[in-house]
Structure 1
Amino acid sequence: MVHYKTKDEIELMRKSALLVSATLEEVASKLKPGMSTLEVDEIAEKFILANGATPSFKNYKGFPNSICASVNSEVVHGIPNTYVLQDGDIVSVDVGVFLNGFHGDSAYTFAIGNVKPEILQLMKETKAALYKGIEKAIVGNRVGDIGNAIQEHTEKERGYGVVRELVGHGLGRNLHEDPQVPNYGKRGSGPIMKEGLVIAIEPMVNLGGRDVEYLEDGWTVITRDEKPSVHFEHTVAIMKGKADVLSSFAGIEKAEQNNPALTANY
């Protein structure tokens, strides 16, 4: 069932989404080689709690941590652990918060130190694809228009692999709501989008093939060919004419630029 939000509820969701963005900005300011993904989780959790919210992911269906930290060939849902980030790694940090009765959800992939040019290009094109999808997230369009725009930009034009098994989703009082929002599909297919729908658009794009598999922990998804994968995500409200992006990358990108341990020019 699709839950449409009032204008007041969307403003509450904006606060949740912007707190997610601020959390990712805090992470971006401190990421560096030699830091474990568990330390990244601790930074995020401390920041979320200090701002009066709770982590959406912690204990969600048994997930043990406050963020997902997915490194290199890990696509999504990486469990923070003792792995130490190395120069040349990429790490997707996915954050959700629950504030004022609503969830916010966003993800950003960071390049640690000197990352290979082809991986930086994958990051650039995946972020661009996210915005291509957002352009289609307007009243009267169909959900398939979003996935088609993402797939056209990444898979059909550039030969990357778009993950099929994991998709974006509706968002609100529940972390996952209808409808599902695939990153692939046919133009003009799927449910018609109406004003008040809030969704998480989150392309997951692989440098190699699209096939993935789960690790034994039951959460972490990796590329089958072990090539890198990139993940970006925004919380978006459907409006007439132009989507309202409730989360923001502006502060994250500034922190990324100011952190010498990260590669931001891609």
Structure 2
Amino acid sequence: MKTIPLINKNDAKAAKISAQFVLEVHKSLTDFLRAGVTLPEIDSFVGEKLRSLKCKSAFYKYRIPGQPPFPSQSCLSINDCVVHGTHTMSQRAIEPGDLVSIDIGVTHQGWIGDAAWTWAIEETTEENMKLMEAGRESLLAGVAAMQPNRPLMDFAKAVQNVAEKEYGFHLIRGLGGHGYGKSLHAPPFISNVASPIHP
């Protein structure tokens, strides 16, 4: 298992600034997103907003060995696309009722901020609203479960309990979160599912 790197106060401040830029981009999307816009238009908007903040996308041209560079400024996932969708996946306009998840990654002064938000476009189904509520409530439960000197698996158990037992959804195995740092997927891996292979 990789250890979690310790950082000093100046590094923590720089990391916080990157996170604040992520928040600012998401807030600007709240006013921009509506039925009729396309994924390429959303991605272009994100790129322009990042430039106005004098920072860069942490995702654009990101490479995983053996894969082509990531083509988008942000990860754009509609409806049943779970994660890491791109602006090239669909040219259709977003429609009322769609769920749109946008993952923003920001690089600023060497530090990366990263967070995904999901929006319901206009009126949506009760099931979609329940899904978004389950996501929010499971995250809150996971954060509340994280305590000093406790294993990260406490987070996973809390998230899984809310999402699967309380709301009846099924979490995707193998997906989870990660640390903040100077690399996009900084350690540790934060599982959403209680498993003996994750600490």
Q: TM-score, normalised by structure 1?
A: 0.68
Counterpart residue identity of residue 170, structure 1 = G
Q: Give the distance between the partners of 2:103 and 2:92, measured in 1 at CA.
A: 17
- Contact persistence 2:96–2:123 (CA under 8 A): yes
Alignment RMSD (CA, Å): 1.4
Counterpart residue identity of residue 72, structure 1 = N
Query: What are the Cα deviations for residues 202-247 of structure 1, in whole angstroms up to 9, with x where unaligned?
Result: xxxxxxxxxxxxxxxxxxxxxxxxxxxxxxxxxxxxxxxxxxxxxx
Task: Choose which of 13, 16, 22 in structure 2 pairs with 1:11.
Answer: 13
Task: Choose which of 145, 149, 152 in structure 2 pairs with 1:140.
Answer: 149
Query: Aligned residue for 1:182?
Result: 191
Q: Give the distance between the partners of 2:113 and 2:185, measured in 1 at CA.
A: 11
Query: Aligned residue for 1:74?
Result: 81
Query: Aligned residue for 2:66?
Result: none
Query: Aligned residue for 2:45?
Result: 43
Q: Give the distance between the partners of 1:84 and 1:142, measured in 2 at CA.
A: 44
Q: CA deviation at 1:186?
A: 5.9
Task: Choose which of 121, 134, 143 in structure 2 pairs with 1:125.
Answer: 134
Q: CA deviation at 1:112?
A: 0.4
- Contact persistence 2:145–2:158 (CA under 8 A): yes
SS of corresponding position for 2:101: strand
User: Where does structure 1 lack aligned partners over 5 or more consecutive residues?
Assistant: 191-266
Query: Relative contact order (alpha carbons < 8 A, sep ≥ 6): 1 or 2 greater?
Result: 1
Structure 1 residue 149 and structure 2 residue 158: aligned?
yes
The structure with the greater share of residues assigned to helix is 2
Q: Give the distance between the partners of 2:20 and 2:72, measured in 1 at CA.
A: 20
1:79-94 matches, cutoff 5 A: 79-81=86-88, 82-94=91-103
Q: Give the distance between the partners of 2:110 and 2:70, measured in 1 at CA.
A: 20
- Contact persistence 1:145–1:186 (CA under 8 A): no
User: What is the identity percentage for the equivalent residue pairs of Structure 1 and Structure 2?
Assistant: 29
Structure 1 residue 163 and structure 2 residue 172: aligned?
yes
Q: Give the distance between the partners of 2:93 and 2:151, measured in 1 at CA.
A: 42
Q: CA deviation at 1:99?
A: 0.5
Q: CA deviation at 1:137?
A: 2.8
Count the aligned residue pairs: 189
Q: TM-score, normalised by structure 2?
A: 0.91
Q: CA deviation at 1:138?
A: 3.1
Q: CA deviation at 1:26?
A: 0.8
- Contact persistence 2:104–2:116 (CA under 8 A): yes
